[in-house]
Structure 1
Amino acid sequence: MALVIDETIEIDAPAEKVWEVLTDFEHYGEWNTFCVEAASTLVPGEPIDMRVRLGANTRTQREWIRSHTPGTEFSYTMKPVALGALHSLRSHTVVALGPNRSRYESRFTLAGWLSPVVVLALGKHLRAGFGAMTAGVGERATTH
């Protein structure tokens, strides 16, 4: 069974500001307690390199940009593990709700026959991390 984590927040800031926060990888460490570092060109097929905090541990990981619509969305995926053991998709979407209000939608899916083991080991940390990042996007967009 796949792990799906959907987080959505409405933010009192223009969509452009929320997009700026999401794509300002250089400053993730100032507000993002989950993905504390990131670097990417956002070009589909190219990497996104991240340092992710899972509980007390921080790990470096490389995933691959799948899609990018400037100002609206980007997504990335891990390199699939052989025999369909594990694969993921992470997406960030910004929707304008008015000139000074927007919605940020965060989605993470982890699937494959090995996913229950990962969920047992890391599910609690993944849920907490994605929730904290979503809240952080909202806070950063309204205070910076």
Structure 2
Amino acid sequence: MTQTVETNVIQKTIELRAPIDKVWRALTDHEQFGEWFKVKMDAPFVPGRLATGQITYPGKEHVRWKATIKAMDEPHLFSFTWHPYAIEPEVDYSGETPTLVEFRLRPTATGTHLTLTETGFDALPPNRRPDAFRMNDRGWGIQMENIRAHVER
């Protein structure tokens, strides 16, 4: 896995030993996404709609997962916007500009090249930006390994 880090963008890439259609399903089928992302999704993903679920990651079970699905361009692009590191149930994050998360896939001779990019951290309130960036940078590293384990099993 490689990664690029700057102040506004998190980018991670990974080579997966799985065909692109399997990786696509792991990203866009709400049940499979929930398995590796550690969230019990409420319903299938639909572009233009809010997707919600309950985080199942130990210690974060109090957090609701919410994202607006932006694109499902099979099998190359899945994207959504969300409020990064929005873990305090009593805080209303709706006034913040969400970040954009994009998963880009391309087939390779041995499987699939997956690139994750999250942009828009510079639009976050200054008091939230450093923690949101740091936690998502770390979290995406974990999630890339989670999807690897999911599709390569």
- TM-score normalised by L of structure 2: 0.72
SS in 2 for 1:74: strand
SS in 2 for 1:141: helix
1:134 and 2:136 correspond: no
5+ residue gaps, structure 1: none
What residue in structure 1 maps to residue 3 of structure 2?
A: none
CA contact (8 A) 2:105 2:113 kept: yes
Higher normalized strand content (fraction of residues): 1
Higher normalized helix content (fraction of residues): 1
- Give the alignment partner of residue 22 of structure 2, picking from 17, 22, 26: 17
CA contact (8 A) 1:44 1:66 kept: yes
| Identity among equivalent pairs (%) | 22
What residue in structure 1 maps to residue 41 of structure 2?
A: 38
CA RMSD of aligned residues (A): 2.9
What residue in structure 1 maps to residue 102 of structure 2?
A: 91
What residue in structure 2 maps to residue 66 of structure 1?
A: 70
- TM-score normalised by L of structure 1: 0.75
Q: Which amino acid aligns with 1:20?
A: R
Instruction: Render the CA deviation track for 1:89-121: whole Å, top value 9, x for unaligned.
Output: 0111221113x4111111112335434322333
Mapped to 2, the partners of 1:26 and 1:54 lie a distance apart of 15
SS in 2 for 1:86: coil
- 17-26 or 106-115, which moves further after superposition? 106-115
Instruction: Render the CA deviation track for 1:13-59: whole Å, top value 9, x for unaligned.
Output: 11111112112321445433xx4233554332111214457894342
State the structure with bigger RCO (CA 8 A, min sep 6), 1 or 2. 1
SS in 2 for 1:57: coil
